Structure 1
């Protein structure tokens, strides 16, 4: 009954459908999608408002620093007076260096200047007298532990501009952490005892204006080379919110602004990367790129940020073939799955951007990963069997023949084989295809739970004997097993039905069906949009499950869009629909932007099958309540792939217009409309009802379906 009630909720919150796109020869000329773009218009970002309900103490003209009419002044005459403070709201998560234009100060002491304490937070919940996160919280070396949760300013008497840069004004006193990712800023007239004698909590400070020096990729409308729009206003906005989230993560790698736990690397210094969060960890993890880089490729022409990360990890490959997940801990964090994500992301880079030079340069690294590192873990039953200890994206305590590790290995082998064929490495392609084909049926036989209709996670319960199978099922392995073809359509549908009935929450589907692996972690109530991406992709790919994808999308992305801080997409969602890590969690995390590839790769249906989209598939998913969809998918060739589909007024017929660059070729799938079709027409010629996949050349085409 719980799932049925959530389905009803999903239908109620579905956005109003907008009218079909303009007809004519070019449905892509309309720029109506510009209104959804979230990026600041320039690299100087102004605040949106003052939260008046949070103002305390003696603060005159609190809106002055926003509207510029008169300076905002914070005053405190006695230690008995309330601490004056004001909260600034930038309207959405931003990232960069805070800049305050002071109109001067007055001090009650000849030896000290009035002190300001600055506390940053992505959410109101995390907005206290300390920041929700600072680099100093995570520093492993004493020189990195500069602050105690706030950035400090000793405000001079004259007019001047202060910029929040990492460092201290007086040796280890009056210190700041520099760059922040945040939405809210609390400014308090206050001083730390350890900053004496340089600052005092008494006196007055006047602020004429406040702004942010934006540090990340500035994704204004003119930077978009790919876009999406459909009949659902909410889905449109979430697509562009996903792009904005990755924009905030795309930034330079600088020692003073990155993860302080031994993540600095001279081989990355000064380069563009995609960090795993705007606030934290600010270190590029390759697993995050499995989604974040797709979002980047499908929107902006900036593959440099992804290539820099993949190259850096490749040159740090270990002798046994293992590839580190990130630079953290001097490239030693022991994750078992991330070398496979490096393979997948490397293939993505080449297929989406046509960068075959990268493939040629690092092909031996890819071969070593697949053929040297993982085969020793294949057990006597022919499947991967991981030893004890954490080893994945969520640091989960699971070991043994885990479904997720095996399904991901199959995916990496298949995907690498696809690229190998195009690059002339046929022996590699044959070997990897054979290995994937060997593991798949053995995984199904060993780990599929026919009673539940889903794969077991595959390992033992905590403290149980090795070789036993814990009665728990995970979203990651089940979803990727479907996508890699380990299951047929019947079993895939059983898995997806089980997952919907068992794990549905108002804020998405949980990544486990129970919490036995870590009762305190409450896994059965935790949602990762990263892993939900693969489940949603499986729903779009499994006949009859497409409509359920939209219902889940509206719960997951609708929740993040309507709960503080809104707009940007969260690292995870915990019990009750809040952070599973408190204010520390990242609320702008690129791995959660799967809404972008879901719409472009599945609803528009465009995917590359050869480097740079020199060959492609256009297989739109039209079942569900969308009335129309259109957009552009960028290629590395002379032109882009454009798709526009519109349902007939009665919902039974369909018209699909698409264009692809001349000199390329591909296939177009006849979409499943959910009803019977009696006429299939491509470019004016009637097609056989038996041909559901049609070969086409680059150029302009029209496909129509009639009941």
Structure 2
């Protein structure tokens, strides 16, 4: 780097108005040029486009909730300094004008000449159909997230022609993703594909049954298609579904009229393992393949152990999450292919131990939140609104991404204000007209009255608001939310704790406790750390390990149940549960994990749900939770300060003989290997603390072993250093 550039690096030229974040404006520190837009707008536009692709047997099936749209007119600007005159290249999606220092250029220039010196470039872009987006590139000026944007510049001009000072305008930092090609804008985005061949084809009932060997997602492709007639495709996650002409959930028809052979790709992407292809008329095809559509996320997490069934469970869970990681984290690839907040919240957690792909998390959070005004709960579900807040809490803890919190905080405020206005006279959340109280798919689960589970989620959401208000420097707001959370927590134990039952009851009706005890609020209170140690032990015995309490049959809530048990040190028990539950699906031939699994069912009954023979999703994101459980509670890696600046490693074999794996973080991986005599760890980030128990005095040549009492020991883990501990597992 030359002397001139070194001098440039020493200069700060401004503060982003709404974030208080310092940005360099000179080219020496400019990022790579990328397409930019108003933050959240592209995410909302893209989610609308994706979620409205759902069909059932050829019929369009749109989402059940309000969909917002992007702002159609956006002003972008950037203050910068050029060391010399430069040509600035422009690519714009929409109609636009461009100004330098307030002077507009005529027409729609693709490039402009800018003289040396300090300037402001501004572009105003209109686009009704797609998101107003810009790409700017010059040697010393690029479009990136340091640009400011607004959807209302509040500019006015008086009779003399003098412009206002724009002091009332609220600017935010622009949004971006990974669009670096000026010739391919955000509106053209598509997920990549690769061609896969079938593993088997057979004629059955005058149709060709094509088996791709495992659950997959993409576009069916006909090679050398020729003739005249019609092709009907019956897709199936199971063989039974594909063979059912009357009840297969996904059906496509393709009219064919071509005298010469050609390759044809179906327009719609579909979920399937099997495709039953019925040819009518004089039609032939040389082969039937598929274009596998996928999100190009990098798998960084890993897990291996001595138990091959657990290894298989982890691998299938990873594949399940991969299929459901698309433009956003979706619930399932067959049905619904929508962005559901409760499903997404679990996907975030699994993502932190498999990919650590922050953009997919933030895109999903933006898409779910939408725009003001708030008119209903997220996905119309009360608990899903609170999971949205919890998703932000966890994202900051894992990523340390303060900039995103600062962008999203105003939308957090308006959503929380809407929720608080819906509380009853006792300050509790209860279902109002239009609210869907979901909790879980469970027979006979009461939704009446004030449900303890909803109050717990609200309490955690208020704690999240307090934390984020602190990050924003809003001390009064933070204090308000902390007080509200503390008051609600007191009410939860006053209204719902039953000492005779040793648990929180499910609900209150007409101001009185009901007798019913369910697992939900009790298991969440364990890993929220709302219980005392004595209460945790009571709940473990009276609820979690009590077969008289209604059992959970969805992987969705089984995830939280097993997390609560892991938090209580019951890894041996949880290992058996994973082998029984997820292993049970594998024993039935599952190649991905399901929306719901009830071992009491048999045969094709496993595939029915919602009153439909094949209504159940056999590839559901919430089925992939072993990724999270094995990474956080067996390898034992979790952040204790935002972004893994500090973290703990608490390995628990839990009945395994040995295990090893890698946990991704924002700045590198943490690797752990553990057996009954030796623990090996290394990390590329932060400062960690290795916790473990040993029946003998442990030895570590690379670091000091500190005795904490009761056979508990600690070793401090420094970045970039490998540690080996010789010990004796207890």
TM-score bucket of the superposed structures, by smaller chain: 0.5 to 0.7
Q: Secondary structure at the match of 1:688?
A: strand
CA distance in 2, matches of 1:246, 1:96: 16
Q: Which range moves more in the overlay, 427-436 or 586-595?
A: 427-436
- Verify the 8 A CA contact 1:546 1:621 in the aligned structure 2: yes
1:686/1:573 Cα in 2 relative to 1: closer, same or farther (>3 Å)?
closer
CA distance in 1, matches of 2:541, 2:583: 21
What does 1:289-304 correspond to in 2, within 5 Å?
A: 289-300=344-355, 302-304=357-359
- Verify the 8 A CA contact 2:692 2:714 in the aligned structure 1: no
1:682 CA displacement: 7.8
- Verify the 8 A CA contact 1:680 1:705 in the aligned structure 2: yes
Q: State the match for 1:609 in structure 2.
A: 640
Q: State the match for 1:94 in structure 2.
A: 216
Structure having greater relative contact order (Cα 8 Å, sep ≥ 6): 1
CA distance in 2, matches of 1:103, 1:214: 20
1:234/1:383 Cα in 2 relative to 1: closer, same or farther (>3 Å)?
same
Q: State the match for 1:496 in structure 2.
A: 540
Pairing 1:407–2:451 present: no
Q: State the match for 2:144 in structure 1.
A: none
Q: State the match for 1:445 in structure 2.
A: 494
1:354 CA displacement: 3.6
Q: Secondary structure at the match of 1:698?
A: coil
Unaligned runs of 5+ in 1: 1-40, 58-83, 106-112, 135-148, 166-177, 191-199, 252-271, 326-333, 461-465, 505-512, 515-523, 649-654
Q: State the match for 1:282 in structure 2.
A: 337
1:618/1:318 Cα in 2 relative to 1: closer, same or farther (>3 Å)?
farther
1:533 CA displacement: 0.9
Q: State the match for 2:239 in structure 1.
A: 124
- Verify the 8 A CA contact 2:676 2:727 in the aligned structure 1: no
- Verify the 8 A CA contact 1:422 1:610 in the aligned structure 2: no
Q: State the match for 2:662 in structure 1.
A: 632
Match of residue 226, structure 2, among 93, 104, 107: 104
CA distance in 2, matches of 1:427, 1:608: 28
Per-residue Cα deviation, 1:608-667 (whole angstroms, up to 9, x for no partner): 233322222222233x21122222222222x3222222213xxxxxx32222235x2243
Q: Secondary structure at the match of 2:600?
A: helix
- Verify the 8 A CA contact 2:704 2:716 in the aligned structure 1: no
What does 1:602-681 correspond to in 2, within 5 Å?
A: 602-622=633-653, 624-637=654-667, 639-648=668-677, 655-661=678-684, 664-668=686-690, 670-672=691-693, 676=695, 679=698
CA distance in 1, matches of 2:461, 2:684: 29
- Verify the 8 A CA contact 1:314 1:362 in the aligned structure 2: no
What does 1:357-506 correspond to in 2, within 5 Å?
A: 357-370=403-416, 372-378=417-423, 383-387=428-432, 390-392=436-438, 394=440, 398-415=447-464, 417=466, 428-460=477-509, 466-499=510-543, 502-503=546-547
1:121 CA displacement: 1.0
1:426/1:616 Cα in 2 relative to 1: closer, same or farther (>3 Å)?
farther
Pairing 1:189–2:189 present: no
Q: State the match for 2:262 in structure 1.
A: 160
Q: State the match for 2:325 in structure 1.
A: 250
Q: Secondary structure at the match of 1:274?
A: coil
Q: Secondary structure at the match of 2:204?
A: coil
1:666/1:239 Cα in 2 relative to 1: closer, same or farther (>3 Å)?
same
1:491 CA displacement: 2.9
1:499 CA displacement: 4.2
Q: State the match for 1:174 in structure 2.
A: none
- Verify the 8 A CA contact 1:291 1:592 in the aligned structure 2: no
- Verify the 8 A CA contact 2:496 2:508 in the aligned structure 1: no
1:377 CA displacement: 4.8
Q: Which range moves more in the overlay, 693-702 or 153-162?
A: 693-702
Q: State the match for 1:8 in structure 2.
A: none
How many pairs were matched up? 523
- Verify the 8 A CA contact 1:103 1:208 in the aligned structure 2: yes
Q: Name the one with the larger strand percent.
A: 2
1:386 CA displacement: 4.0
- Verify the 8 A CA contact 1:571 1:586 in the aligned structure 2: yes
Pairing 1:48–2:205 present: no
1:44 CA displacement: 0.9
Q: State the match for 2:597 in structure 1.
A: 573
Pairing 1:310–2:365 present: yes
Per-residue Cα deviation, 1:287-309 (whole angstroms, up to 9, x for no partner): 21211122223222533222112
What does 1:494-573 correspond to in 2, within 5 Å?
A: 494-499=538-543, 502-503=546-547, 513-514=549-550, 527-543=553-569, 545-564=570-589, 566-573=590-597
Per-residue Cα deviation, 1:415-450 (whole angstroms, up to 9, x for no partner): 555566667555555544443333334323322344
1:600 CA displacement: 1.0
Q: TM-score, normalised by structure 2?
A: 0.65
1:534 CA displacement: 1.0
CA distance in 2, matches of 1:96, 1:459: 47
1:542/1:616 Cα in 2 relative to 1: closer, same or farther (>3 Å)?
same
- Verify the 8 A CA contact 1:643 1:659 in the aligned structure 2: yes
CA distance in 2, matches of 1:682, 1:417: 43
1:225/1:571 Cα in 2 relative to 1: closer, same or farther (>3 Å)?
same
Per-residue Cα deviation, 1:136-167 (whole angstroms, up to 9, x for no partner): xxxxxxxxxxxxx44344364432212111xx
1:118/1:213 Cα in 2 relative to 1: closer, same or farther (>3 Å)?
same
CA distance in 2, matches of 1:680, 1:444: 45
Pairing 1:705–2:724 present: no
1:681 CA displacement: 5.5
1:502 CA displacement: 4.7
1:501 CA displacement: 5.1
1:503/1:93 Cα in 2 relative to 1: closer, same or farther (>3 Å)?
farther
Q: Which range moves more in the overlay, 286-295 or 383-392?
A: 383-392
Per-residue Cα deviation, 1:77-117 (whole angstroms, up to 9, x for no partner): xxxxxxx1121111111111110113534xxxxxxx33322
CA distance in 1, matches of 2:258, 2:542: 64
1:344/1:682 Cα in 2 relative to 1: closer, same or farther (>3 Å)?
farther
1:621/1:367 Cα in 2 relative to 1: closer, same or farther (>3 Å)?
farther
Q: State the match for 2:309 in structure 1.
A: 234
Higher-Rg structure is 2
Unaligned runs of 5+ in 2: 1-191
CA distance in 2, matches of 1:608, 1:661: 14
- Verify the 8 A CA contact 1:621 1:672 in the aligned structure 2: no
- Verify the 8 A CA contact 2:682 2:717 in the aligned structure 1: no
1:599 CA displacement: 0.9
CA distance in 2, matches of 1:542, 1:696: 25
1:283/1:698 Cα in 2 relative to 1: closer, same or farther (>3 Å)?
same
Q: State the match for 1:12 in structure 2.
A: none
Q: State the match for 2:378 in structure 1.
A: 324
- Verify the 8 A CA contact 1:680 1:688 in the aligned structure 2: no
Q: Secondary structure at the match of 1:406?
A: helix
1:425/1:645 Cα in 2 relative to 1: closer, same or farther (>3 Å)?
farther
- Verify the 8 A CA contact 2:584 2:599 in the aligned structure 1: no
- Verify the 8 A CA contact 1:120 1:131 in the aligned structure 2: no
Q: Secondary structure at the match of 1:102?
A: strand
Q: Secondary structure at the match of 1:398?
A: coil
Q: Secondary structure at the match of 1:486?
A: coil
1:605/1:574 Cα in 2 relative to 1: closer, same or farther (>3 Å)?
same
Pairing 1:345–2:377 present: no
